């Protein structure tokens, strides 16, 4: 699942400008769009978040794209699709609102990556695939395993959610040091913040069920630091 670290050195970027753009995006998304107990539908929220991101990206000039950056965008588009597709299936199976709410957020994450693919004239690996279908064989295998596990019980379904966010955070943290384009970093920072919020939500829901999740990709210390801190807003 983990993308290999490329040899390209990280270019110097305007961190202050990047931070300002990220703050504008997060505020526009309603603190990341991760209000897990909300009954508000996710489609309108996703459209608003995408519009905010489009406006923010317009303030950042595109830069030359490395092959590693292009590969990371294709991978992240499908990894966010995996999360969306699994959560849709888990909501259909168990009817717990957290799956629907986070699934709507994952659609926003997918849309964010698609904006970058379009911006750099890259093909969309999720353009024609149905739910549960992936061009990346590792993601396909991972999806199949998660789906089987999540059917066993509600607790296992929540653990599947935690595992998805666990691996998403690990992958993003591995990818970001290889990225030198400010617009891509902006989106990846937002995706990781969303995944941290999602992980907190699944952790809390597991505790309500009298259960826990043991991280498989992050260290226990990294996991504890995330779930024992508050939800992140703008």
Q: What digits encode the pLDDT tens for the residues 55-74?
A: 888 889 889 999 999 999 99
**Which structure tokens are listed for 40?**
């508000």
pLDDT of residue 233: 81
Give tens-digit pLDDT for 144-160.
Answer: 999 999 999 999 999 99
Summarize the confidence of residues 202-228 as an average pLDDT.
Answer: 98
Domain ranges of the chain: 15-227
Work out the number of other CB atoms within 10 angstroms of the CB of residue 138: 13
Cβ(29)–Cβ(52) below 8 Å: yes
> φ, ψ for residue 209 (rounded to 5)?
-90, 5
pLDDT of residue 46: 58
Position 5 pLDDT exceeds 70: no
pLDDT of residue 221: 98
Summarize the confidence of residues 34-59 as an average pLDDT.
Answer: 61
- The mean of the pLDDT values for the chain is 84
Summarize the confidence of residues 39-54 as an average pLDDT.
Answer: 61
Give tens-digit pLDDT for 13-30.
Answer: 333 333 334 443 443 333
Position 142 pLDDT exceeds 90: yes
DSSP class of 9: P
Counting Cα atoms < 13 Å in the Cβ hemisphere of 35 gives 12
Which residue intervals of the chain are DSSP H helices? 15-28, 42-57, 67-94, 97-119, 137-150, 154-175, 182-208, 220-227
| Burial 96-130, CB ≥16 within 10 A → b, else e | bebbbbbbbbbbbbbbbbbbbbebbebebbbeeee
Q: So what CATH class is 15-227? A: mainly alpha
Q: Which residue has the higher pLDDT, 39 or 59?
A: 59
Position 49 pLDDT exceeds 80: no
| Confidence category of residue 94, pLDDT binned at 50, 70, 90 | very high
């Amino acid at each position: 699942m983990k993308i290999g670290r490329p040899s390209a050195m990280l270019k110097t970027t305007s961190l202050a400008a990047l931070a300002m753009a990220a703050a504008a995006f997060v505020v526009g998304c309603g603190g990341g769009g991760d209000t897990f107990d909300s009954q508000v539908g996710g489609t309108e929220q996703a459209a608003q978040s995408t519009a905010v991101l489009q406006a923010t990206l317009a303030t950042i000039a595109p830069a030359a794209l490395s092959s590693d950056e292009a590969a990371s965008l294709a991978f992240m588009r499908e990894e966010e699709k995996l999360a969306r597709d699994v959560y849709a299936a888990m909501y259909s199976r168990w009817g717990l609102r957290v799956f629907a709410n986070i699934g709507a957020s994952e659609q926003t994450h997918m849309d964010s990556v698609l904006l970058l693919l379009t911006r750099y004239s890259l093909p969309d690996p999720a353009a024609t695939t149905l739910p549960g279908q992936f061009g990346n064989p590792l993601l396909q295998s991972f999806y199949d395993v998660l789906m089987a596990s999540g059917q066993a019980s509600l607790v296992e379904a929540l653990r599947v959610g935690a595992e998805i966010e666990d691996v998403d955070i690990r992958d993003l943290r591995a990818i970001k040091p290889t990225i030198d384009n400010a617009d891509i970093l902006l989106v990846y920072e937002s995706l990781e913040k969303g995944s941290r919020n999602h992980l907190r939500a699944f952790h809390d829901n597991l505790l309500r069920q009298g259960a826990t999740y043991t991280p498989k990709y992050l260290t226990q210390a990294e996991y504890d630091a995330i779930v024992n801190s508050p939800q992140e807003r703008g």
